[in-house]
Amino acid sequence: MQEILLVDILFVTIFAIGVGTLSSMIGIGGGTLNTPLLLIVFFGIFNEQSAPATALVGALFVSIASSVAYWHQNPRPTVLRVGLILVIFSVPGSLFGVLLRTLITAPYVLRLIFGIALMPLALKMLFAKKRGKGDLISELANWNVSQITRKQWVISLFGAFIGGISAGLLGLGGGAVVVPVLSVLMGLPMHAAVATSMFIMIFTTTAGTALNFFVGAVNIYFAISLGFGMLIGGQIGSRLASRVNAVQLKQIFGLILILPLVTMMKLGQIWLDPLGNRGLMSTLGDVVIWLAIIVPIGLLRLYQLRWKDRSLDSKDTIDRTTPE
């Protein structure tokens, strides 16, 4: 039994290194991948309660490592004042998310919640676009917290609470919600929004993890191995990120991520083999559903690219024909 446990821990660590590497390269916290894949790959170890609880530990390790790295950057992108204010609402949200998950006793209901909540994040990665890199020093100098209106504060605080719920319920770091709140609603530069989100994530994931330990949803051995692997993977990914096309990698990853979400929800099994165990027919059903989702999206994306190229060609033609 001890040998099996050590082998399982080794597999989880290797798995976490891979997830941490890819997550840091495409700019996500890892919970989007960890929760569904822990349920699928390590179905004999993790269930619908322990998978998100353990994934949250991984997010805690990544948030600490990332925050330390951001803190030593010059200029420092982390906006402490805003981060600490949002923490006041994200921490209760995380605790509420954990309690909500423990109250849902039907395992398949949790699988549906995970899949429905994470699917938009996968689709968002498919439509990732390259962002221009601005001057962080001037952007931070031109930004002031007094510019945020009362209405924006109310919506932002509510967004922080929702981000906390996603952390406790799904095992995410909450950045998928908090980063848009900081960048869109509060007007922070994207780099500062990501750094501040990681700082907020330390408190959000710590609170959720503490409650997960209290309710007995975390296996300490697997949690440490997952966190250790995510730390190593994060260091590897940060060094590889400058050598790859991050936008294309994010699009490919979004394409692939949809399949484990479909598998986690057992959609193929419900469709083609509702009375049997997972087998060939269930896998075939998952693949068909996956293709039914990604093919229309791929055609739409292709149409968008062609339309963009056509618009650029038309603009060039007009510029050439216009006399100076």
What is the tens place of the pLDDT at every residue in 259-280?
888 888 888 888 888 877 666 7
Greater confidence (158 vs 117) lies with 158
Residues 175, 101 within the same domain: yes
Count up the domains in the chain and report the number.
Answer: 2
CA separation, residue 198 to residues 57, 105, 210, 303 (Å)? 14, 31, 18, 35
Residues 175, 316 within the same domain: no
Range of the domain at 283: 271-324
pLDDT higher than 90, residue 119: no
- Domain termination site, one of 245, 265, 285: 265
Alpha helical stretches, state H, the chain: 2-26, 31-41, 50-71, 80-103, 107-126, 136-142, 150-170, 175-180, 190-214, 220-240, 246-264, 267-272, 280-321
Burial letters for 168-203: b for 16+ Cβ neighbours within 10 Å, e otherwise? bbbbbbbbbbbbbbbbebbbbbbbbbbbbbbbbbbb
Residues 162, 309 within the same domain: no
Question: Which tokens hold the place of 20?
Answer: 């941490």
Residues 287, 223 within the same domain: no
Round the average pLDDT of the chain to a whole number and report it.
Answer: 83
Residues 251, 283 within the same domain: no
Most confident of 101-110, 165-174, 201-210: 201-210
Residues 311, 229 within the same domain: no
- Domain termination site, one of 241, 265, 289: 265
pLDDT higher than 80, residue 70: yes
Residues 184, 53 within the same domain: yes
Mean pLDDT, residues 214-221 taken together: 89
Mean pLDDT, residues 23-28 taken together: 67
Please state the three-class secondary structure of 76-103 as a single string: CCCCHHHHHHHHHHHHHHHHHHHHHHHH
7 three-state secondary structure:
helix
Question: What percent of the chain has pLDDT above 90?
Answer: 21
CA separation, residue 128 to residues 26, 27, 158, 226, 252 (Å)? 10, 11, 25, 27, 10
Residues 233, 317 within the same domain: no
Q: Which residue has the tokens 């938009």?
A: 120
> How would residue 166 be classed by pLDDT, with cut points 50, 70 and 90?
confident
Greater confidence (144 vs 132) lies with 144
Q: What is the pLDDT of residue 322?
A: 59
pLDDT higher than 50, residue 2: no
Q: What is the pLDDT of residue 56?
A: 92
Of 11-15, 42-46, 154-158, the range with the lowest mean pLDDT is: 42-46
Residues 218, 295 within the same domain: no
Residues 276, 215 within the same domain: no
Residues 166, 23 within the same domain: yes
Whole-model pTM: value is: 0.78
- Domain termination site, one of 218, 247, 265: 265
Residues 86, 6 within the same domain: yes
